[in-house]
Amino acid sequence: MISTWLHQQQREQLIIFCNGWGMDATPFQPLGAGEYDVLMLSDYRDMALDFDPATLFRRYQRSFLISWSMGVWAGQQIFQPWSHCLQGSMAINGTLCPIHDQFGIPVQLYGATLEQFSATSRLKFYRRMCRDRQTLDTFLSHQPQRSVESQALELAALQGQVNCQPAENAIYTKIVIAGQDMVVPTANQVAFWQGREVRRVEGAHFLFYGWNSWDELVGTLL
C-alpha cells in the first residue's frame, strides 16, 4: 500500500482517503483543500501500512475517513481497529463485499476484466467509470500515472484477498450511492446496504469532479 499526501499544510483536521483500485493521486489534483490535510491510501497489492495510525491520529483534533469503490473494503480492513478515532466516515460507491454477484462487482465480470486487462480495456473501464463526457475528459487529462502491469497485479491481488463483512459491521457512518454506477452496480450497493441510511446522488462511479474541494465534499456529504 502507498500513502501519499494530497494536501499537507499542518491543519488541525485530517481526511484519510482510501482510493479505488488502479488509482493514484493524479485524478484528484483538481480538488483543493482549505481546512483539511488529506492523506490518500492506494495500491492494495500489499495491505501493510507505511505509517503508524496512532501517531497519525494524535496529530489532529478531528479525523475523517472517506473511502471510494474498492477503498470501501480496504478502509474497513485497515481502520476497523481505529474507528474510535474517527469523527466521521463515508463510503462512496462501494461495499464490504466488493466481488460478489449480489453485493458487489459480479464475479464473472471481475474475472473477465482481469483476464482481458490491457491499455484498450483500461480506457473502456475509465469510460464506464465516468460515463458523461465532461467528467471523462477531465479524468483523462488527469488519469493515473500507473502502468497497465501494476494495475493488473493489483486487480489479481485483490481477487485473492477480498472477503465479505456484513453491513452491520461497517465502520462507515454515511453511505453514498450513485444512481448510475456501472462499475459496482447501483442495485448491488443498495442490496448490500439495506437497512442502513443511504444518501442517493446523481452520477456514475467516479463522482469527485462534482466538488471543487475536499472541504466542499465533506460539508455536503458528512
What is the tens place of the pLDDT at every residue in 175-212?
A: 999 999 999 999 999 999 999 999 999 999 999 999 99
The C-alpha cell of 177 is what?
A: 450511492
Q: Cell 462534482 identifies what position?
A: 210
37 Cβ contact partners less than 8 Å away, ≥ 6 residues apart = 5, 7, 8, 9, 10, 11, 13, 14, 15, 60
In the chain, what percentage of residues exceed pLDDT 70?
99
Q: Cell 467516479 identifies what position?
A: 206
Average pLDDT score over residue span 18-38: 98
How sure is the predictor about 15, in pLDDT bands with cuts at 50, 70 and 90?
Answer: very high
Tell which residue, 84, 73, 89, 30, has the closest CA to residue 213: 30
Q: Where are the domains of the chain?
A: 2-221
Average pLDDT score over residue span 8-34: 97
Element containing residue 136 per DSSP (H, E):
helix 133-140
Tell which residue, 176, 12, 169, has the closest CA to residue 83: 169
Tell which residue, 188, 178, 189, 184, has the closest CA to residue 125: 184
Report which DSSP code applies to 141: T
AA letter at 23: M
pLDDT tens digits, residue range 107-134?
999 999 999 999 999 999 999 999 999 9
| Angle, CA 94 vertex, CA 172 and CA 153 arms, to 5° | 120
pLDDT at 221 over 90: no
Identify whether the C-beta of residue 154 lies closer than 8 Å to the C-beta of residue 117.
Answer: no
- Orientation of helix 148-161 relative to helix 107-115, angle to 10°: 150
Average pLDDT score over residue span 22-31: 98
Task: Identify the pLDDT of residue 220.
Answer: 79
pLDDT at 70 over 90: yes
Task: Identify the pLDDT of residue 40.
Answer: 98
> What number does CATH give the domain 2-221?
3.40.50.1820
Task: Identify the pLDDT of residue 198.
Answer: 96
Identify whether the C-beta of residue 51 lies closer than 8 Å to the C-beta of residue 75.
Answer: no
